[in-house]
Copies of this chain bind each other. A is one copy, B any other.
Amino acid sequence: MSVEKFELYLKELRSVVKKKGLKYSLQREQILKALFDSSCHLTPEEVHQKVKIINPSIGLATVYRTLSLLEKENLVTSISFGSEGKKYELNRGEHHDHMICIKCGKIIEFFKEELERLQERIAKDNGFKLLSHQLNMYGICKECQREFND
Contact B140 A123 (CB under 8 A): no
Contact A140 B135 (CB under 8 A): no
For A127, what are the chain B residues with a Cβ–Cβ distance below 8 Å?
141-142, 145
Within 8 A of B (CB), among A46-86: 80-81, 83, 86
Tell whether A150 is near chain B: CB-to-CB under 8 Å.
no
- Name A139's contact: one of B102, B129, B135, B138 (CB within 8 Å): B129
Task: Please measure, in the bound complex, the distance between the C-alpha atom of A108 and the C-alpha atom of B125, giving whole angstroms.
Answer: 13
Show the binding face of A for B, using Cβ within 8 Å. 80-81, 83, 86, 99, 101-102, 108, 110, 112, 114-115, 118-119, 122-123, 126-142, 145
For this complex, 28 residue pairs linking A to B, each with C-beta atoms less than 8 Å apart, are A80-B80, A81-B134, A101-B128, A102-B131, A108-B128, A110-B122, A110-B126, A115-B115, A115-B119, A115-B122, A119-B135, A122-B137, A123-B137, A126-B142, A127-B141, A128-B137, A128-B142, A129-B139, A129-B145, A130-B138, A131-B138, A131-B139, A132-B137, A132-B139, A133-B136, A133-B137, A133-B138, A134-B135
